[in-house]
């Protein structure tokens, strides 16, 4: 590692190298100048690696840090007192988990690795200190949080207005574009999450998700075998999502 000798930070976590990270154009480094990158590296900690199903944090964990997904993927969900789960998001490499928890003492949700996953950890006290010094980084944080609000509003819209088919088409397209951002195939990918998680996230029953998948498959729009998915006709998927308001909007 380049700047090898750094101050012994007592907890002695490994320092991550943002300079060398392939996700630096997606993650927090995106926002800041090269010469400020060092100060970001000073506060980021190389997180550990989580196996599928392991919790990164849950609603009883005291809130300390946000986490950037480095590889793998993460599911966040709220668990109610009654034990019911509501999946609130899926996070892929380059995306930041924990922004919904920056109020209150504990995390506002539970984060679980969907597969073998590695993360970088940003302790919030240090992060807030740093964003106070770097206006572009502060701006970027506002940007990310605002985006998160918008995403959640979009989800609410999907849940309240759209049919099962529309919801699933939307999710597939969202995943597709997020794979594309990472320079991976937007049409051939493997779903990081189980049908159950998809169903929960989209407010559907598993059976419905399964049925829609096979319906799409019969229509030749997608090809799906288990978690492997191929989008055969992206335009058709977009058709499905657009509420064809032409005819909805009479006159």
Q: Residues 4, 35, 60, 225: which binds DNA (CB under 7 A)?
A: 225
For 20, other C-beta atoms within 10 Å of its C-beta total 9
Helices 195-202, 206-218: crossing angle, 10 deg rounding: 100
How near is the Cβ of 178 to a copy of itself at its closest, in Å? Answer: 17
- Which one, of 44, 74, 82, 73, lies nearest residue 58 by Cα? 74
**Residue 234 touches which of DNA, a copy of itself, none (Cβ within 5-8 Å per kind):** none
The minimum distance between CB 193 and DNA, in angstroms, equals: 8
Alpha carbons within 13 angstroms on the beta-carbon side of residue 64 total: 12
Residue 78: phi and psi, rounded to 5, are: -100, 135
Q: How far is the CB of 107 from a copy of itself (least distance, A)?
A: 11
CB of 46 or CB of 217, closer to DNA: 217
Q: Which C-beta is closer to DNA: that of 16 or that of 212?
A: 212
Distance set, CA 47 to CA 4, 12, 56, 122, 130 (Å): 18, 12, 10, 9, 19
- Chosen from a copy of itself, DNA, none, partner binding at 54 (C-beta under 5 to 8 Å by type): none
Is 145 or 206 the residue whose CB approaches DNA more closely? Answer: 206
Q: Pick the closer one to a copy of itself by CB: 65 or 118.
A: 65
Give backbone dihedrals phi and psi of 81, rounded to 5 degrees, phi first: -55, -35
Output DSSP code: residue 229: E
Interface with DNA includes 210 (CB under 7 A)?
yes
1: nearest Cα among 50, 38, 26: 38
The contact set with a copy of itself (CB under 8 A) reads 78, 80-84, 86, 88, 99-104, 108-109, 128-129, 131-133, 135, 138-139, 141-150, 152-157, 159-161, 200, 202-203, 242-245, 248-249
Position 39 contacts DNA (CB under 7 A): no
Block residue for tokens 């055969």: 232
Instruction: List the beta strands (DSSP E) in 149-210.
Output: 188-190
Q: Minimum Å distance from CB 2 to DNA?
A: 9
Nearest to 167 by CA among 211, 206, 212, 207: 212
Query: Judged by CB under 7 A, does residue 59 bind DNA?
Result: no
Q: Is 86 in the site for DNA (CB under 7 A)?
A: no
Task: List residues near DNA by CB under 7 A.
Answer: 1, 163-165, 194-196, 203-211, 213-214, 224-227
């Amino acid at each position: 590692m380049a700047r090898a000798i750094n101050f012994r930070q007592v907890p002695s976590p490994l320092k991550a190298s943002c300079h060398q990270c392939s996700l630096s154009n997606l993650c927090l480094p995106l926002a800041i100048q090269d010469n400020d990158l060092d100060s970001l590296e000073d506060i980021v900690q190389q997180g550990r690696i989580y196996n599928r199903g392991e919790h990164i944090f849950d609603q009883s964990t005291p809130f300390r840090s946000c986490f950037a997904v480095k590889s793998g993927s993460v599911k966040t969900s709220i668990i109610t007192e009654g034990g019911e789960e509501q999946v609130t998001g899926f996070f892929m490499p380059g995306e930041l988990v924990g922004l919904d928890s920056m109020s209150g003492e504990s995390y506002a949700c539970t984060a679980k690795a969907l597969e073998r996953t590695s993360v970088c950890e940003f302790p919030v006290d240090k992060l807030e200190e740093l964003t106070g010094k770097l206006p572009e980084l502060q701006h970027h944080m506002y940007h990310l949080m605002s985006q998160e609000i918008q995403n959640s509003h979009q989800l609410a819209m999907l849940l309240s207005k759209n049919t099962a088919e529309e919801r699933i088409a939307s999710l597939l397209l969202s995943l597709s574009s997020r794979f594309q951002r990472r320079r991976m195939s937007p049409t051939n990918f493997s779903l990081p999450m189980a049908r159950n998680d998809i169903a929960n996230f989209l407010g559907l029953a598993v059976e419905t998700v399964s049925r829609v998948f096979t319906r799409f498959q019969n229509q030749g729009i997608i090809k799906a075998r288990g978690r492997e998915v191929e989008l055969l006709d992206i335009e058709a998927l977009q058709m499905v999502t657009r509420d064809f308001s032409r005819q909805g909007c009479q006159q």
